[in-house]
Structure 1
Amino acid sequence: MGRHGWDSGVRRWRLTALLGIGVAALALVLTLSTLRDNGTSTTGTTKDGAKPHGTPVVPRDKPGPELGWGFTHTANSADEGKAASVDRAEKLLAAQPLPQIQHIMGWGADNPEPVPGHYDFDAMDRRMDFIRATGGTPVITLCCSPDWMKGGKAGVNNTDWDEIEKPPVRAHYKDFAGLAATVAKRYPDVRHFVVWNEFKGFWNSDKGRWDYEGYTELYNLVYDALKKVNKDIMVGGPYLVMDSLDPRQKEGASTEVKGPWGSADQRVLDAFRYWNENKKGADFVVVDGSSYTVDDELLPDEFQATEKLTAVSRWVREQTDDLPLWWAEYYVEPGDANDAREDWEESHRVAVHASGLIAMAKGGASTGFYWNPQNKGAKCAGCLWRSTELGDGGSGLPMLELISRFHKEFGPGTTYETVDIAADDVPNVRVIADDKAVLVVNTLDRPISAKVDGRRFDMRGHEVKWLKRR
């Protein structure tokens, strides 16, 4: 997500750039030219970059478009760091395998095609190997685009990470689709691909709206390219940010998707409808967004604000004839940078995120990915595990416990059931259940005595409690 930082394994390029001044730079240009003429790669992969990487592990159950609940790898993840800590994190995640997203450029991956026809998948290979080692279901987000596809310069030293959010120019849409096909061939065990990220760069300033025509054209080319690689590949989009406005705002506000939490941005709904009506096809539909408004307001409060996720989910499902719905990202606390996250106690954060998961599931979403804000420090508010850069890193944190348990209890194919809640507890708790488990969230910052599913029990302030069905 652009406003949450892209970051990358960018150090390699910047260091090389510094060393490449003067004569070395000229030598590099000549070397690249020779490599290209000889049909070889700049990083040891085949010219088309399609050589299958590693030992693909296709899950025995051949997962369909509904994957359950997982997370996205960001700039710093558990594939690098102290060996013992990396091993600890790997075993931790393998104990409860989760679906995991990796982008092809940025968020821990280098420029995949710095020169047309020459590839660098080293960083991405390492991430994919880590996902495989944990037994997770890999998902690839096809974002972002090499510089030469968006009007910049080709070359390993020319990646401008400040321009990461620019999409390919129209003349290179087919080249990007070709890159998508190359990625699919390189990782044949990956069956789920998301096209682009948040409509990045697809804003039409002249018309004051999203360039949904451009995105849909790119999406359709990528869709066709992936299906040619393997008809069983599952493709989804449009990965729009479902922004909401203050309920008092009228301009640009939707009259069909609204609530006490605010109103959906009509421009986003218009873009979604165009894609939905003009797409070649889709195996699942992807959105992202926050419970708070574009002005960072949680209305009426942080728990009731999550009802937006239910309302948006239901609207999307109605528009798409109930295609499986993914939330590629979801946010429930304004200011998702780590310094802002530290304003909340972890128990508070977990309780609100649990309410968000409940809200998405009640709206019909079957899959959601937590954007892991991993940093290298000892403190990382909202992180899933302690940084593997630390000697004692790799151990699980409360957010991972929540997501892992939610995925285990309410994974693909879950049929949710009605639960009895005492009348005086209805305003204070959030509850979801199937035939085996009940999840109860205390939305108050004080202890309560609640009666749910015929049982009375005490709860601490902002406690998240799991019950077994009797």
Structure 2
Amino acid sequence: MMRVARGRAVGFVGGGLVLALLVLAMCRFPGEPADGGPGVHGKPTIPQNEPQDALGWGFTHTQYSADEGANPARDRAASALNRARLPQNQHLMGWGADNPEPSPGRYDFDSLDERVDLMRETAGTPVLTLCCAPDWMKGAKAGATDWSKLETAPEPKHYRDFARLARTVAERYPDIRHFVVWNEFKGFWDERKKRWDFEGYTELYNLVYTELKKVSPKIRVGGPYVVMDSLDPGDAHASRVRGEWGALDQRALDAVAYWSEHRKGADFAVVDGSTYTEEDRLLPDEFGAAEKLTAVTRWTRKETGLPVWWAEWYAEVGDARDRREGWSERHRVAVHAAALMAMVEGGAAGGFYWNPQLPRGACAGCLWHGTRAADGGDGLPMLRLLARFSREFGPDADPRRVPVSGEDASRVRALRGEGAVLVVNTGEGRARVRVDGRGLRLEGYEVRWVRAG
């Protein structure tokens, strides 16, 4: 059956017992965070999450992953992922998983089982995003799958059916304790009201939340996973949450606020967004635009009172990202390192990099060489960045800004993690600076880890 690649929304079994126990031992469960501090325009100390609040920094499996292809390549990819030990997210349907319930009560979990087994075998804390819905829940004929309708939401009369499917999935994979409800409000745009149908989404969310908690009170559930678009500050829908990077879309903030007020319960809040505006502009530049991620995180923490997860985050302009053109990999890694720093500075509890994996060879921004080639599977620079960042800025980290001085200080950013300082040169030329009292020479767009003094 066809496996579906990622598309933007309108408006935007089982491994062995030992492996299952290993994953259970690795899971961390969110709790309530401390106050998020001053608003987005202030300069507070970096807000801290208690260790149980944070899952960490990982990635999402997409259409192609390391569960297919040549055995030597799969082994190399698995080895790289085992060393990285990252949280890993997979969708219920689409992006590598087939229709889980083609007809009412008739299940097909083979492809999802493969992805779950991959997460188990590579020591990743597993997460499932509960999207999308089988066709019969969307008014289509049972037994058929029209992948062009993947992003259609279930009909309200089938919300309970989707919630029961979520419960079946949770019972099938008892070692998975983290669930995200839906993806980017897909299918929940109200064309008549020209806004998100946050009432419908929240009704679906509450039903799913209830069914998952029946399986185990230890299961952690979050939403609403709406896209936090940024607009020109003069746009009619621009909110007061703004900066040089633009202004957040008030319709997205309204969706989060409604969900937060009417949710039956939640263990974390989920957001999604890019650093660029709807006009595909990075303001004031690709590094300065990352401040949006800090602003979104702080606003969401304050609005919901919950730990914040970034389900998806993008630091490249849409067209360039889709074509993977324009930036060298060194430049790309530097921009993404700055984006990760921005989310941590806002107090994010974790996030998932959307892996743009191809079946063969290297690709810009991919985490490993595609495993359909016999010589594939080797880790790539973005995987190394995520792995080190996850270690240094994991649940027990105490991130702190580090002073940078010298003639090129304005181009260099530094943030202290668990045992090292992440230093990023945001310019294409060499930079000479002192970081935490230590002299450094950095190449253009260099990302360096320096032992904390």
Contact kept? 1:429, 1:440, Cα under 8 Å:
yes
The one of 120, 141, 149 equivalent to 1:132 is 120
Do residues 145 (structure 1) and 112 (structure 2) align? no
Q: Structure 1: how far apart are the matches of 2:230 and 2:130? A: 26
Tell me the equivalent position of 2:384: 401
- Which one is further off, 204-213 or 407-416? 407-416
| Gap regions ≥5 residues in structure 2 | 31-53
- Amino acid paired to 1:253: A
User: Which protein shows a greater Rg?
Assistant: 1
* Letter in structure 1 aligned against 2:230: S
Are 1:120 and 2:141 counterparts?
Answer: no
- 2:282 equivalent in structure 1: 298
Equivalent pair of 1:53/1:186 in contact (CA under 8 Å): no
Cα distance between partner residues in 2 of 1:99 and 1:382: 18
Distance 1:165 1:420, change over 3 A: same
Distance 1:4 1:263 in 2: 26
What secondary structure sits across from 1:175 in the alignment? helix
- Shift of residue 62 of structure 1? 3.7
Counterpart check, 1:252 vs 2:237 = yes
Instruction: Work out the number of aligned pairs and report it.
Output: 420
What corresponds to 2:257 in structure 1?
273
> Structure 2: how far apart are the matches of 1:442 and 1:161?
43
1:189 to 157, 164, 175: 175
Letter in 1 for 2:56: G
Please state how far the C-alpha of 1:385 moved relative to its aligned partner. Answer: 0.1
Contact 1:313-1:325 within 8 A present in 2 as well: yes
Aligned to 2:7: 5
Q: Distance in 1 between matches of 2:346 and 2:200?
A: 29
- 1:64 is matched with 29
1:436 alignment partner, one of 384, 394, 419: 419
Instruction: Report if aligned partners of 2:320, 2:326 keep a CA contact under 8 Å in 1.
Output: no
Offset at residue 210 of structure 1 (A): 0.4
Partners in 2 of 1:411 and 1:341 — Cα distance? 29
Aligned to 1:202: 188
Equivalent residue for 2:268?
284
Residue pair 2:5, 2:62 contacting (<8 A) in 1 also: no
TM-aligned CA distance change 1:318 to 1:338, over 3 Å: closer
The residue that corresponds to 2:372 in the other structure is 389
Q: Does 1:264 align with 2:248?
A: yes
Contact 1:180 1:226 in 2 (8 A): yes
Highest relative contact order (Cα 8 Å, sep 6+), 1 or 2? 2
Aligned to 1:454, which of 423, 437, 449? 437
Consecutive unaligned residues of structure 1, counting only runs of 5 or more, are: 7-50
Report how far residue 354 of structure 1 moved. 0.2
Paired amino acid for 2:139: G
**Partner Cα distance (1:5, 1:250) in 2:** 25
Please tell me whether the aligned partners of residues 425 and 451 of structure 1 are also in contact (alpha carbons under 8 angstroms). no
Q: 1:371 to 1:148 in 2, by over 3 A?
A: same
**2:59 equivalent to 1:94:** no
Measure how far apart 1:164 and its partner are: 0.1
Aligned twin of 2:61? 73
Residues 236 and 285 in structure 1, CA contact (< 8 A), matched pair in contact too: yes
Distance 1:336 1:320 in 2: 32
Deviations 1:165-216 (A, max 9, x none): 0111000000000000000000000000000000000001111110000000
**How far apart, in 1, do the equivalents of 2:384 and 2:26 lie?**
24
Report the aligned-residue RMSD.
Answer: 1.6
Structure 1 pair 61–77 and aligned structure 2 pair: CA distance change class (3 A): closer
Q: TM-score, normalised by structure 2?
A: 0.90
**What SS does structure 1 have at the residue aligned with 2:370?**
coil
In structure 2, the partner of 1:320 is 304
Query: Hey, what's the Cα distance between the residues in 2 that align with 1:245 and 1:4?
Result: 23
CA distance in 2, matches of 1:227, 1:336: 40
Match of 1:307? 291
Deviation at residue 450 of structure 1 after TM alignment: 1.4
Tell me by how many angstroms 1:431 deviates: 1.5
Per the alignment, in what secondary structure is the counterpart of residue 59 of structure 1?
Answer: helix
* Number of the residue aligned with 1:413: 396
Q: Which residue pairs with 1:445 in the alignment? A: 428
Task: In structure 2, give the amino acid aligned to 1:162.
Answer: S
1:331 aligns with 314
| Cα distance, 1:224–1:324 mapped onto 2, change above 3 Å | same
Q: Which amino acid aligns with 2:115?
A: R
Go from structure 1 to structure 2 and tell me whether the alpha carbon gap of 1:211 and 1:54 turns closer, same or farther (over 3 Å shift).
farther
* Residue in structure 2 matched with residue 48 of structure 1 by the alignment: none
- State the alpha-carbon separation in 2 of the partners of residues 266 and 339 from structure 1: 27
Spell out structure 1 runs of 4+ moving beyond 6 A.
none
Distance in 2 of aligned mates of 1:4 and 1:299: 26
The 8 Å contact of residues 52 and 188 in structure 1, kept in 2 or not, is answered as: no
Aligned partners of 1:54 and 1:129 also within 8 Å:
no
How far apart, in 2, do the equivalents of 1:106 and 1:62 lie?
Answer: 25
Structure 2 CA distance for aligned equivalents of residues 434 and 53 of structure 1:
34
Could you tell me the percent identity over the aligned residues?
A: 60
Q: 1:259 and 1:211 mapped to 2: Cα distance?
A: 27
Residue 419 of structure 1 contacts residue 452 of structure 1 at CA under 8 Å; is this kept in 2? Answer: yes
Q: In the TM superposition, what is the alpha-carbon distance from 1:380 to its structure 2 partner?
A: 1.0
SS at match of 1:227: helix
How far the C-alpha of 1:95 sits from its partner, in A, is: 1.1
TM-score (normalised: structure 1) = 0.87
Range with bigger deviation, 57-66 or 430-439: 57-66
Q: Secondary structure at the match of 1:201?
A: coil
**Aligned with 1:232 (options 186, 197, 218):** 218
2:401 touches 2:414 (CA, 8 Å); kept in 1? no
The structural deviation recorded for 1:244 is 0.2
For 1:235 and 1:336, the matched residues in 2 are separated by 33
Tell me: CA distance 1:62–1:138, structure 2 relative to 1, closer, same or farther (3 Å): closer
Match of 2:42 in 1: none
